[in-house]
Structure 1
Amino acid sequence: MKTIGILGGIASGKSAATNELRQLGAVVFDADKAGHRVLEMPQVKEEIRARFSSAVFDAQGNVLRPKIAELVFGDTDAHRQALADLEKISHPRIGQQLEAARKQAEVDGALAFVVDAPVMIKAGWIRHCDYILYVDATREKRLKRALARNWTENEFDIREAAQEELEVKRKLADTEIPNNDDLSQLQAAVRAFWLRRIAPPPGHRGNPR
């Protein structure tokens, strides 16, 4: 089983590339969804309350992710420290879920396991990957997509500044997946990668999953 990491800028089309890989037979680990599950853990809630106060919880004791986002995304030292503290709480638990999912995918006979995680480099999860795909789109295209999701340009810039520079991600990639035109361009590039690197040889009779 090969492990594939997905990198790219915000709104570059990483989810579209991931969905195409899933359609081809890959098992996908979505780190954002795993992060949401982590925030439901009692011990994590205790640590977040101790660090960020009860102001980031609703009346039912659930973590208010928009409130957390206000504290951790910004260009001040306080924002950067808050983000670092949140990552110390969440990343190890997400990493445990990633490793468990990867092992299960291997047991199940999957051809490929995809790590979809914006913080993959920072968290060190890139070490799990045999291949890295970089989904490439211009800032203009990405901003347009982000605005369609009701983001502001300032929110877009702040979130992107919290991640590694695009050229750092690009240099780590084995394959670039273009996504400036219609979706078929991305899909064709992902399928070409799959056939070149992942697809079983002719005559293979194993389960594609």
Structure 2
Amino acid sequence: MKTIGILGGIASGKSAATKILQELGAEVFDADLAGHRVLEIPEVKEEIRARFSSAVFDDQGNVSRPKLAALVFGDSPEQRQALADLEKISHPRIGAELQKSRNQAEDRGVIAFVVDAPVMIKAGWIEHCDHVLFIDASRETRLKRALARNWTENEFDIRESAQEELDVKRHHADFVIANDGDLSQLRDEVSAYWRQQIATSLS
């Protein structure tokens, strides 16, 4: 089984590329969704309450992701420290879930396992990957896509600043897939990678 890491900037098309790989036969681990599940663990809630106070919880006692995001995403020293503290709480648990999912996929005979995680390098999960794909799109293209999702340019810049720089991500990539075009072009690029690197390993 090949483990494939997906890297790219905000709104570069990582999710679209991941969906195409899934359609081709890969199983996908979405670290963002895993992060949502982690926030529901009682002991995680207690650690977050101890670090960030009850102000980041809603009326039902659940972690409010928008409230938490306001504290951890930004350029101030306080926000950077808050993000680091949150990652210390969440990353080990997400990593454990990733490893469990990967092992289960391999036991089932899955041919490819995709790790979709924006902080893959920082968290050390890139070490699990046989191949790393970098989905490449210009800032202009990515910002246009983000604005179409009702983000502001400031939100786009803040979220991007919380991740590794694009040059760092590109440096770790084994394959670069251009995505300044439409979905059909991306499908062609990803399908070509699959045929050349994954399907051939089965023959």
- Please classify the TM superposition score into its range, dividing by the shorter chain length: over 0.9
Which residue of 1 is the match for residue 139 of structure 2? Answer: 139
> Please, what is the CA RMSD of the aligned residues?
0.9
Separation in 1 of the partners of 2:81 and 2:166? Answer: 22
Which residue of 1 is the match for residue 180 of structure 2? Answer: 180
Q: How does 1:35-46 map to 2 (within 5 A)?
A: 35-46=35-46
Counterpart of 1:33 in structure 2: which amino acid? L
Percent identity over the alignment is: 73
Please tell me whether residue 115 in structure 1 is matched to residue 115 in structure 2: yes
Separation in 2 of the partners of 1:126 and 1:85? Answer: 21
Deviations 1:37-78 (A, max 9, x none): 000000000000000000110111000000000000011000
Which residue of 2 is the match for residue 101 of structure 1? Answer: 101
Aligned-partner SS, 1:198: helix
**Given the two structures, how large is their TM-score scaled by the length of structure 2?**
0.98
| Mean CA deviation greater in 192-201 or 57-66 | 192-201
Which residue of 2 is the match for residue 169 of structure 1? Answer: 169
CA separation of 1:166 and 1:58: change in aligned 2, threshold 3 A: same
Separation in 2 of the partners of 1:150 and 1:44? Answer: 30
Separation in 1 of the partners of 2:59 and 2:160? Answer: 31
CA separation of 1:201 and 1:131: change in aligned 2, threshold 3 A: closer
More helix by share: 2
Unaligned runs of at least 5 residues, structure 2: none
Unaligned runs of at least 5 residues, structure 1: 205-209
CA separation of 1:172 and 1:201: change in aligned 2, threshold 3 A: closer
Deviation for aligned residue 1:184: 1.1
Separation in 2 of the partners of 1:114 and 1:126? Answer: 11
Following TM superposition, where does structure 1 have runs of at least 4 consecutive aligned residues deviating by more than 2 angstroms? none
**Given the two structures, how large is their TM-score scaled by the length of structure 1?**
0.95
Which residue of 2 is the match for residue 207 of structure 1? Answer: none
Deviation for aligned residue 1:171: 1.3
Aligned-partner SS, 1:62: coil
Deviation for aligned residue 1:185: 1.2
**When the two structures are aligned, how many residues end up with a matched partner?**
203
Separation in 2 of the partners of 1:143 and 1:47? Answer: 35
Counterpart of 1:126 in structure 2: which amino acid? I
Q: How does 1:119-130 map to 2 (within 5 A)?
A: 119-130=119-130
Which residue of 2 is the match for residue 7 of structure 1? Answer: 7
Q: How does 1:9-24 map to 2 (within 5 A)?
A: 9-24=9-24
